[in-house]
Amino acid sequence: MTRFMAYLLTACIGFIGIAGCGAPEDPPEPVAAAPEMTKAMPEKIEVEILHISEEFANINTSITREELAEKGIVENSWITVTYKDKSYPMLMGKDYGDVARGEWIARIDEEDNRLQLAISFGNAATDMGCTVGDKLQLQLTEAPSMENATTQPTG
């Protein structure tokens, strides 16, 4: 995004030169956008799968509620979980009723205070194809638009 902003700024400067005083002989060098103009991309967080529940194949991970909060991931925010080039957008909810049947949800497991990934009335680890010890990437994201409000995997 920063590179795009620099090119956009360069294009605007070039246009002003053409419209105002004539085109400059040499195009101006690209200029980095000012820090206040850039929006930092949320960092990717790597977590390990510690446990998979037998009954519903819920995925229990190595990251705690406090560690998530330090990264800005709190209840009612959205995250994208990536595993083997597939992305799974999901709500960071409180309980399974926060999403529709068959939808992904991220929540804090009350027993160990760690992030749990699940599918409401589904089998998360089976769907994802992951196992204990695998690594997942988490990233804070924006809520999907109403047109794309599904939490089905992409990729």
State whether 31 and 54 are in the same domain.
no
Q: Examine the pLDDT at 58 and tell me if it is beyond 70.
A: yes
- Answer yes or no: do 26 and 52 share one domain: no
Question: What tens digit of pLDDT does each residue of 19-38 get?
Answer: 455 544 554 454 444 444 44
Q: Does residue 77 have a pLDDT over 60?
A: yes
pLDDT band at 68 (very low <50, low <70, confident <90, very high): very high
d(CA 67, CA 59): 17
- Evaluate whether residue 33 is within a structural domain: yes
Domain contains 103: yes
Residues 82 and 112 in one domain: yes
Domain that holds residue 75: 45-144
Query: Residue 152 — pLDDT band, cuts 50, 70, 90?
Result: low
CATH number, domain with residue 59: 2.40.30.90
Instruction: In whole angstroms, give the CA distance from residue 34 to residue 47.
Output: 33
Task: Provide the whole-model pTM.
Answer: 0.69
Percent of the chain with pLDDT over 70: 66
C-alpha torsion sign, points 114, 117, 120, 123: negative
Tens of pLDDT, residue by residue over 89-118, are 999 999 999 999 999 999 999 999 999 999
The domain total for the chain is 2
The token pair that represents 111 in the structure block: 């027993």
Question: What is d(CA 81, CA 139) in angstroms, rounded to the nearest whole number?
Answer: 7
Within a domain: 58: yes
pLDDT for the residue numbered 89? 96
Residues 134, 88 share a domain: yes
Q: Are 20 and 52 within one domain?
A: no
- Residue 33 pLDDT: 44
Q: Which two tokens stand for residue 31?
A: 């200029």
Q: Is residue 154 part of a domain?
A: no
- 121 with 58, same domain: the answer is yes
Question: Would residue 128 count as lying in a domain?
Answer: yes
- What rounded mean pLDDT belongs to the chain? 80
Residue 149 lies in a domain: no
Residues 6+ apart with CB under 8 A from 119: 56, 102, 103, 104, 105, 127
